[in-house]
Structure 1
Amino acid sequence: MPLQTWRLLRPSIVLLVILGLGGAYLHFFTEQPLSWPAYLAMMFFYALIFGVGAYAASLRQGNDSESLMLAGRQLPLFLAIFTMSATWVGGGYINGTAEYTASAGLVWVQAPWGYALSLVVGGLFFARRMRTYRFHTLLDPLEQRFGKRTTALLFLPALSGELFWTAAILTALGTTFGAIAGLDTPTAIMVSAIITIAYTALGGLWAVALTDVIQLLLLFGGLWLVTPYALEQTGGWTAAWADYQQAYGAAASLLPSREALGAYYWNWWDYALLLIFGGIPWQVYFQRVLSSKDADTAVRLSLIAGVVCLLAAVPAVMIGIAAHAADWTALGLPPPPDAASTLPWVVRYLTPSWVGIIGLGAIAAAVMSSADSSILSASSMASWNVFRPLVQPEASSARLGKVVQRMIWIIGVAATLIALNIQSVYELWFLCSDFVYCLLFPALVCALFDPKANSTGAVAGLLVAAFLRFGGGDATLGIPLLLPYPMVEDGVSLFPFRTTAMLSGLLTIVIVSRLTLRWYPPKQLKKID
């Protein structure tokens, strides 16, 4: 075997041996009932992903911060499309699409087209400007326009969103691995987290991008393989769709209507706008935009990735319809214990065992493809926008590269601890997405497009948006409804107060900036060398 080939295969072989010995220990010494075919399949999948991630370290032109965070700004279009799509099409995206299709009707399946539109809007209005200025992170235009202190405030919703998203993804990844192989969830979470963190720290964005290619291909192949078997158990597509339409009526359409939504009509629009515009101010998105070869590539990859995201949701929707139409009792099978279990339940019980292993592996691939991206994104912001300006302003690029690698481990471990100890991670992640939309999006828009925006306006806009958003209450944080918003049912306002908070924050930045121009002149954006 040539030396170069052995060097490429060695990480995978070592990981296979470790996982094999670990599985044998769990099975024989702790008497844990492992499913060996499924465990072996997951072993090979994890070893393959880790090996590709380790190989990606050889593609980096250096160990500097730009190579780790942005792949030296040399990410080709096809690879950028894969990594952008795989990042958005995560476990929550696929599982949530099947869940809401089966339990709430297509009208509430907002994530696929909402996130697809966020990529399109981001590509048309944000990608070119961000790439032209050669920023390193989402927070760079905020730092240039509003200063370090204001950016530190805006960093909090950005970091918390990435951190809780990572924790939620690791929980889903560990749960999926556990369901496939029979591992207990904490063990599966730790194994999945260590592998994901390790190859991300080794290869940076190159590792994330290359592994995303495998993960996205496996996702598409696995879900499309599962779909016909699932529909066969329900009498075929025609019968399943007819049953679905009869059950949900007007709600069996993607288009909103008062007939389908009732009192929730404006609440539906509130969440729709949150998905579209709240999906833009995320470092995981701009990391791919900024790593592109040029501005034209950044625009194209956003538009094409939006289409890919829509296509990835199609089999998940069909599986959700099949789950709703299935007569589980007549089939002699246990029904899903809850709506969130729709996708893994269909894959496990409505398909042959070999198809089920591939399908569950596809779910694991979708989850892992988002975990590595989120860890790298949070580490990039913490290193570039916190450590560099506040701790060591004169740090070299090589020094920052080492800081990025350390931050990957720190943030990865922190997310793992959250995943192991907090049960409501998904609720916290949705809450952070909400805050990113209300608090961060207005500041980003003004930083990029309003030459008169200043730090005073940014702080005022943040305070106004926070007041209006928190005034709407939040069940996760135990905050009651504080402001007299209309359309209240069961103590919850259905008024679109999130969008109201976002628009109010945006207008406040514009108005206050102009009123304070004399005392606080605005700073201008400049290209980063």
Structure 2
Amino acid sequence: MAVHWGGVVGMVVFYLVILVIGLWASRKTKGGDKAENVMVANRDIGWFVGFFTLVATWIGGGFINGTAEVVFTPGRGVLWAQAPLGYSLSFVVNGLFFAKKMRAAEYVTMIDPFQIKYGPRFGGILFLVALLGEVLWCATVLAALGSTIAVILELDQNLAVIISACIAAVYTFIGGLYSVAYTDIVQLVLMFIGLWLSIPFAMTNEAVAPLSETKFEWLGEWDTDMLGVWLDKWMLLIFGGVPWQAYYQRALAAKTPRLAANLSFAAFFGCIVMSVPAYILGAVGASTDWEMTGLNLNKTDPYETPSMVLPLIIQYLTPPVVAFMGLGAVSAAVMSSTDSSVLSSSSMFVRNIYSNIFRPKASDKELIWVLRVTILVVTGLATLLALTLSSIYTLFVLCSDLVFVLLFPQLICVIHVPKANTYGLIPGLIIGLILRLGGGEKAISLPPFIYYPFYDEEKGQLFPFRTLAMMCSLITTIAVSYGVWLVFKRGYLSKKWDVLNRFHDENHNTEEAKKLNTKYELQENL
């Protein structure tokens, strides 16, 4: 196998630039001896850095590669490439309903309000769902980078994954959110240039038919039977994209609550713009006669492995120099997602598990070192998954479902339902989990044990059962919470039966809520 050493040199230069910028940005962490400052960058993120880092949070390797893959895949096309618009709209939802209140309350992580309302241990349960999502997302994008480098540079993909993960871990280890945010700027610019530069060369390649003549190949096919599935995916992407720590790490670091919301609205447009090249390149792949390219179809057939279509387009439909720029774009996308997931996972563990549950009196110095060690552990775990598992993406899809079904309704309750309590949380989680797992998941060979309306032996569940599970979880949490609150409030049960100790400190909890509301009212006009 002939290694493309010119590309390797370019990749090394790119990684050195990212590393230098990350180390330089680490010097901006004022008060770097405080764990909270490292996690939320002293709450000093402004418009410029905030916009770039929020957009880069979503625009990762899975986002870019996955969009091109779906558009390229026969029978799916643009019609089923819902992720870019769906995930972008999640920014709008966050900006309208959550970002302001959570930034005004000065939370450090997304899990903080859960632990305040439900207690450290029960709130910590939701950390597990969030952690799984972040780590699997990180592993997915690292695996995407490995396959891309294997195609373009013919370099060992395991080595590429390990090097990429190590670079991201080093500057995240040293600089925290500041390093992540500033490297996001460079990575997003490289993505924009590399992908847009590839488009004219790919579209004018002699092997590519005009897109206007192949629109039936890349627009996708509509199946009325799949309407419920299609709508279910929209709900999953829009609202399941809301409760992610990678987003809140940045929103909670904004200078003011209003800025946190406005950055979210701006990031919506940024994500839409950044997704356009992936759509176009996916359509180019569907319009290509691959036998006219230099691709060995006996070795790599894009129709058998559609996840490889983006690197194949960059490699075989563009000149070598442009191909290396395209590789830089995909590498940048992966790095921006990797460092985000690593830092957000580590921050949640240190803040919400280690500090709040096991070591409440831990010093800032101790928390800083635990954070750094956790960054290395999470990076190692994600890298191991990327190197050993073949079904990472399907596991991530299922975990995204759990974020939508379990975390999103609880986020609504913890921010907008004052009477929500642990008594409602537990049955809400159980109902949501049973209804979601009951629908099965073909991707991981999980058979259904609940057959929803319109079930088809061949097509599977056609009813939007994920949305149903989410709604049932939300309604159960609210109904049980209010029911139990009324029982204790009106004295139908003595508070000695309050086994979860949620109402003994009701006055304290009320005062805490008043403080948070007052703080929000004072800051919302800033």
Q: Is the TM-score greater than 0.5?
A: yes
In structure 2, the residue matched to 1:63 is 33
2:480 corresponds to 1:512: yes
For the Cα contact (< 8 Å) 1:438–1:502, is it kept in 2? yes
Q: Which runs of 5+ in 2 are unaligned?
A: 489-497, 520-526
For the Cα contact (< 8 Å) 2:25–2:182, is it kept in 1? yes
Alignment counterpart, residue 210 of structure 1, candidates 172, 179, 182 = 182
2:235 corresponds to 1:269: no
Match runs of 1:318-333 below 5 Å: 318-331=280-293, 333=295
Match runs of 1:299-310 below 5 Å: 299-310=261-272
**Residue 263 of structure 2 aligns to which amino acid in structure 1?**
L
Q: Call closer, same or farther: CA 1:57–1:331 in 2, change over 3 Å.
A: closer
In structure 2, the residue matched to 1:118 is 90
**Residue 512 of structure 1 aligns to which amino acid in structure 2?**
V
2:276 corresponds to 1:314: yes
What displacement does 1:199 show? 1.1
CA distance in 2, matches of 1:215, 1:132: 30
Match runs of 1:489-500 below 5 Å: 489-490=456-457, 492-500=460-468
The residue matched to 1:494 in structure 2 has which SS?
coil
The residue matched to 1:260 in structure 2 has which SS?
coil
Alignment counterpart, residue 45 of structure 1, candidates 1, 5, 14 = 14
What displacement does 1:57 show? 1.7
What displacement does 1:430 show? 1.1
Match runs of 1:125-136 below 5 Å: 125-136=97-108
For the Cα contact (< 8 Å) 2:294–2:316, is it kept in 1? no
**Residue 352 of structure 1 aligns to which amino acid in structure 2?**
P
In structure 1, the residue matched to 2:161 is 189
In structure 1, the residue matched to 2:350 is 383
What displacement does 1:176 show? 2.7
What displacement does 1:475 show? 2.8
- List per-residue Cα deviations over 1:82-116 (Å, max 9, x = no partner): 01101100011111111111112211010110011
In structure 1, the residue matched to 2:422 is 455
2:207 corresponds to 1:240: no
For the Cα contact (< 8 Å) 1:234–1:327, is it kept in 2? no
In structure 2, the residue matched to 1:298 is 260
**Residue 52 of structure 1 aligns to which amino acid in structure 2?**
I
2:117 corresponds to 1:145: yes
What displacement does 1:273 show? 0.5
Alignment counterpart, residue 357 of structure 1, candidates 315, 324, 341 = 324
- List per-residue Cα deviations over 1:6-36 (Å, max 9, x = no partner): xxxxxxxxxxxxxxxxxxxxxxxxxx74211
The residue matched to 1:292 in structure 2 has which SS?
coil
2:208 corresponds to 1:224: no
CA distance in 2, matches of 1:35, 1:329: 23
Residue range with higher mean Cα deviation, 184-193 or 167-176? 167-176
For the Cα contact (< 8 Å) 2:89–2:268, is it kept in 1? yes
**Residue 399 of structure 1 aligns to which amino acid in structure 2?**
E
2:56 corresponds to 1:86: yes
CA distance in 1, matches of 2:294, 2:13: 33
In structure 1, the residue matched to 2:493 is none
TM-score normalized by structure 2?
A: 0.89
Alignment counterpart, residue 469 of structure 1, candidates 411, 436, 440 = 436
In structure 1, the residue matched to 2:494 is none
For the Cα contact (< 8 Å) 1:88–1:309, is it kept in 2? yes
Match runs of 1:146-161 below 5 Å: 146-161=118-133
What displacement does 1:476 show? 4.3
What displacement does 1:280 show? 0.6
What displacement does 1:395 show? 1.6
- List per-residue Cα deviations over 1:277-321 (Å, max 9, x = no partner): 000100001111000000111011111111010001111111111
For the Cα contact (< 8 Å) 2:207–2:290, is it kept in 1? no
What displacement does 1:458 show? 0.8
CA distance in 2, matches of 1:203, 1:197: 10
Q: Which runs of 5+ in 1 are unaligned?
A: 1-31, 253-258
Q: Call closer, same or farther: CA 1:232–1:33 in 2, change over 3 Å.
A: closer
The residue matched to 1:482 in structure 2 has which SS?
coil
For the Cα contact (< 8 Å) 1:267–1:496, is it kept in 2? yes
Match runs of 1:323-472 below 5 Å: 323-331=285-293, 333-334=295-296, 336=302, 337-472=304-439
TM-score normalized by structure 1?
A: 0.89
CA RMSD between the two structures:
1.8
CA distance in 1, matches of 2:21, 2:326: 21
2:470 corresponds to 1:502: yes
**Residue 37 of structure 2 aligns to which amino acid in structure 1?**
S
- List per-residue Cα deviations over 1:22-59 (Å, max 9, x = no partner): xxxxxxxxxx7421100000000011111111112211
In structure 1, the residue matched to 2:522 is none
